Structure 1
Amino acid sequence: MSEAFTRLTAVSLPLLLDNIDTDIIIPSREMKTVGKTGLADGLFAGWRYTSVGGREKSPDFLMNHAPYDTAQILIAGQNVGCGSSREHAVWALREYGFRAVIASSFNPIFRSNCIRNGLVPVQLPFAQLYALGDVGEASVTVDLDAMTVCAPGVGPFPFELEKDSRLMLLNGWDAIDLTLQYRDRITAWRDADRAERPWIYLERDA
């Protein structure tokens, strides 16, 4: 399970660029673990640091300046998370502290990984993205109950999520947790099927 998400008001990091791929989010050289931790330092490493493999912060990258260094909402362009299917990209964003990504479109695998790791993917038209990107240091609010995004003087802008995806994020569920919500229906179907086709089942455990 991941941390449940209902409503977040936080600083946003406006990186209004298209095709921010997974190798930009977490370069392969920074993937030194198979777990979900130890990746935050490598987030946006190619932009965040002045040299490959180094840790001297680049003064040109917005994320290296307050208050954007504490951002929990990423605002990007179209086709976010393209490239490889590495789930490490979402893990790195989550470990750093991001809880939502707002973009005009997402790579489907990246979007699915976001939902399964408690990172809310919000899809909005370009005009609304740029309006949110212009709020500067003002906080942005992502409300999963109301299904809206707003900032002072901007919005609210409605967005959509599939019912199961929204339930997973609201409750901090993974795919197994979601499936278990239908446990009674699954058991009832299996019992009925066992009665109709007993020969395909192993004996019940004592």
Structure 2
Amino acid sequence: MKVNKWTIHSGVAAIIPREDIDTDQILPKQFMKLIDKNGFGRHLFFDWRYSDLEGKVLRHDFVLNEDAFKNASVLVTGKNFGCGSSREHAPWALSDFGFRAILAPSFADIFSINSAKNGIALVRLKEEEIHWIMEWVSKNPGSEIKINLETLEVTIANKAFSFPLDSASVNRIRNGLDDIDHTLKNEREITAFEGKRKTENTFMEVCW
């Protein structure tokens, strides 16, 4: 799955007003045996989205199954999102579903690292700001939120909120870099090092 790169994103916001949503709720463990990043979005929040084990019967009371939020790309949720195990499959599922940003008061550390390299911006806002946004979206379903990685601002209903995001994460998201892409930025240096090492090893063999 190609990492989506973006600098400014506007998208429909969906809210899940729960705290401590862990990675097993985001993507249940039975789907971790899949190895292709594509298609994980279908299994996102599986136990909340479906009422059967095969994933054929939708729960009509879950937000992502509602018409106004089926194409949501911004998630607004409670604190400590992404806690639990360190599985990178959770960000894969969020990204494959279409989410580009998650707004919450706090996030689990390892989940934060995995999200940036999958094109997802984690937007930390104050609890009162998250509460205000949730209230607005609840009263105005289908509302869009704009996230700007240049100014580090969130805009909704003509209100702007600033948020922190480290430069490394911003760089990854704006350039669509996963770990392999990040490493290959130094391909010339790596090739030079390998060539030098090969020459040194050959010299040592001759000496022996």
Partner Cα distance (1:100, 1:94) in 2 = 9
CA RMSD of aligned residues (A): 2.5
2:156 pairs with 1:151? yes
Runs of 4+ in 1 over 4 A off after TM superposition: 179-184
Distance 1:107 1:6 in 2: 23
In 2, Cα distance between the equivalents of 1:74 and 1:80? 11
Q: How far apart in 1 are the matches of 2:71 and 2:109?
A: 27
2:98 matched to which residue of 1?
A: 97
Counterpart residue identity of residue 99, structure 2: F
For the Cα contact (< 8 Å) 1:132–1:140, is it kept in 2?
Answer: no
Q: Secondary structure at the match of 2:129?
A: helix
Judge conservation of contact 1:31–1:39 (CA < 8 Å) in 2: no
- The code of the aligned residue for 1:177 comes to D
Question: One-letter code of the match for 2:150?
Answer: D
Counterpart position of 1:49: 50
Amino acid at match of 2:201: L
Structure 1 residue 181: deviation in Å? 4.5
**SS of residue matched to 2:106:** coil
In the alignment, does 2:27 pair up with 1:26? Answer: yes
Q: For 2:168 and 2:112, how far apart are their aligned partners in 1?
A: 14
Tell me the equivalent position of 2:82. 81
3-state DSSP of counterpart to 1:165: helix
Name the count of aligned residue pairs. 196
| Equivalent residue number for residue 167 of structure 2 | 163
Task: Give unmatched runs, 5+ long, in structure 2.
Answer: 204-208
- C-alpha contact (below 8 Å) 1:164/1:178 kept by paired residues: no
- Where do 1:123-202 residues align within 5 Å? 123-136=124-137, 137=141, 138-154=143-159, 156-181=160-185, 201-202=200-201
Q: CA deviation at 1:30?
A: 3.1
CA distance in 2, matches of 1:88, 1:80: 15
Q: One-letter code of the match for 1:41?
A: R
> For structure 1, which runs of at least 5 residues remain unmatched after alignment?
none
1:70 counterpart letter in structure 2: N
% identical aligned pairs? 33
TM-score by length of 2: 0.84
Distance 2:98 2:53 in 1: 23
Which amino acid in 1 is paired with 2:119?
Answer: G
Aligned: 1:110 with 2:111? yes
